[in-house]
Amino acid sequence: MEALLIGRPHPRGSRWSRRLWIAVPMALALLFLVYTLLLWGSRIEPPPRSISAHRLPVEVRGERSYVGSNWLSRERGLWEYHLAGEPFEMGYAHTRLGQRLLEEADDFMFAEFHRYVPAGWARFLIRLGVRWRYRHLADQIPLDRQQEIAGEAAGYLDRHADFLPTYHRMVFYHALHDITQGVEHSPLLGCSAFAASGAATSNGHLIVGRNFDFEGPEPLDRDKAILFFKPAGRIPFASVAWAGMTGVVTGINAEGIYVSINAARSDDQGGEGIPVELLVREILERAHSIDEAIALVKSHSVMVPDFYLVADGKTGESAVIERTPARIEVRRSRDTILLTNHALAPAFAKDTENDRLRRYLTSGARYQRLSELVRQHRGTIDPRRALEILRDKRAEAGEVLGLGNRNALDALIATHSVVVDATALQLWVSEGPHCLGKYIGFDLRSEFSNDGTFERYHPPSLPEDPIGNSVELRRHRQAVAELEAARGFLARGVADRALEQAQKAVALDDLMPEAHRLLGDLWRSTDRERARREYQRYLELHPPYLHDIEEVKGVLSSL
């Protein structure tokens, strides 16, 4: 009898077991259903393409690759795209010609994503969150841009389509600026630009200088491109960017209208709107004047704050449009106008985020130095002088900065840099790396009118930066590598090795404030006097971020 009782299942345990066997599959089924509905509700599908859209093969002729009349080459040290026709055909040719370039940039960005977010579950949640947050993004994109991106997706053999379907991911790619700009350490908040005309220049032409300081994927600097677009029925234009980008961050059209964007910050909350690169594309395709450019900016909702430098080579007028999701302020000039990353209009005087950006990041310091240089060279500004200004590596009043200091106009981080004579319709683009190499010249009248049957005219290149092959630059680069190694050892808890590497960095480049800060941190618990000296040296070297300065001053006061 006792044996029978022992062998009989416990009624209560059996009941809970049966419930568990029912509940777990039901919960999993529910989660799967929710996940499926989320994917379905957040999908972004390509628009129907026209029946006439067809896919031509790639033909190689010498240094150039062709898809129909569209072609790509690197004959002069920069990738050159020449794209013409209807949106889908241009997009298809774009990726068919640049498959390798897009793959390399994609692989780099995904590797960085895995490096900064190593946990697979975290990447999964980020993907779902971004996908749901921006599920209506395509509704804000003009149909012809949707068709062009659909052409890109059709032409691209995508190795990462498992992360997001190709078209969906390419839509997000064109809004990457808007999606990431709110990140505290955004890599976009470092751009500087100016325009000068009339009595401020040597010959009355409208001259523009612009550094696009995007600390993004290295391939975007190494493989930067100038893209010449001739959209059917629209104004031809040139864009300086990289393979795959149908939007524009820096460009000029055949009407002499120049536009570039600088990232910004504001108390104004973001919302739904057109990605800024695609708005600039709209301006270049449609605007014949600054007034038309301003009207186009006003006619679209935007997702995040950005400031636009607009210049008209026909009239010599330039303007800065300070645009947030809630406000639009315009500064205009026929003399000089400057732009970094903070707003100057009185309407932003009480904007705390704008003020924080100006004081706590580098925008204020760069603006002061840019103002000083433009005033100093007033009346002599030409393309060469503009390049000197863009390459300036000093602080206000000419005080010495270490190479790579983010307070400098040239902090050795520019993804691209351009000089423009908007009156003569001539453009010079940095060969790289950053602003160090020569600037390759393009005559836009020749480029826009050339059908490939006659020789193009090229303005002479602007010279390389003399520092490019210097011992000083070599030592600085080595010091940066040693500092990164020191931080790596510190993260692993190997303080003695971190100290050795930081000392190497300072020996190679004593003007690098970050190395002295790290040495101070490392000495702080064992040698207060050494730590004090390192912190004081750090403060002498114009460190770029006020938050770090305040921290070090607080530490010094306690030593």
Arithmetic mean of pLDDT, 201-227: 92
CA distances, 209 to each of 371, 432, 472, 548 (Å): 13, 16, 26, 30
Question: Mean pLDDT lowest for which of 63-72, 114-123, 344-353, 521-530?
Answer: 114-123
455 or 368, higher pLDDT: 368
CA distance 390 to 78: 20
* Nearest one of 253, 197, 238 to 382, comparing CA atoms: 197
Of the pLDDT bands very low, low, confident and very high (cuts 50, 70, 90), residue 51 is very low
- Mean confidence (pLDDT) of the chain: 90
| Beta-carbon contacts of residue 266 (< 8 Å; ≥ 6 apart) | 305, 324, 325, 326, 327, 343, 348, 351, 353, 354
Of the pLDDT bands very low, low, confident and very high (cuts 50, 70, 90), residue 454 is low
Res. 419: pLDDT tops 70: yes
Tokens found for residue 259: 């536009």
CA distance 256 to 447: 13
Residue showing tokens 């290149």 = 461
* Nearest one of 475, 516, 533, 524 to 495, comparing CA atoms: 524
Most confident of 12-16, 123-127, 142-146: 142-146
Per the CATH hierarchy, to which homologous superfamily does domain 180-469 belong?
Penicillin V Acylase; Chain A (3.60.60.10)
What local confidence, expressed as pLDDT, does residue 320 receive?
Answer: 98
Most confident of 107-116, 135-144, 178-187, 236-245: 236-245
Tokens found for residue 156: 């691209």
- Is residue 538 within 8 A of residue 516, CB to CB? The reply is yes
Res. 189: pLDDT tops 70: yes
Instruction: List the chain domain ranges.
Output: 2-42, 59-173, 180-469, 473-558
289-327 pLDDT per residue, tens: 999 999 999 999 999 999 999 999 999 999 999 999 999
Tokens found for residue 172: 């997000």
Of the pLDDT bands very low, low, confident and very high (cuts 50, 70, 90), residue 122 is confident
DSSP, collapsed to helix, strand or coil, labels residue 531 as helix
Assigned fold of 473-558: 1.25.40
Helix axes 363-376, 352-360, angle to 10 degrees: 70
| Beta-carbon contacts of residue 375 (< 8 Å; ≥ 6 apart) | none
Of the pLDDT bands very low, low, confident and very high (cuts 50, 70, 90), residue 1 is very low
* Nearest one of 328, 333, 324 to 290, comparing CA atoms: 333
What local confidence, expressed as pLDDT, does residue 456 receive?
Answer: 77
Question: Mean pLDDT lowest for which of 38-42, 412-416, 517-521?
Answer: 38-42
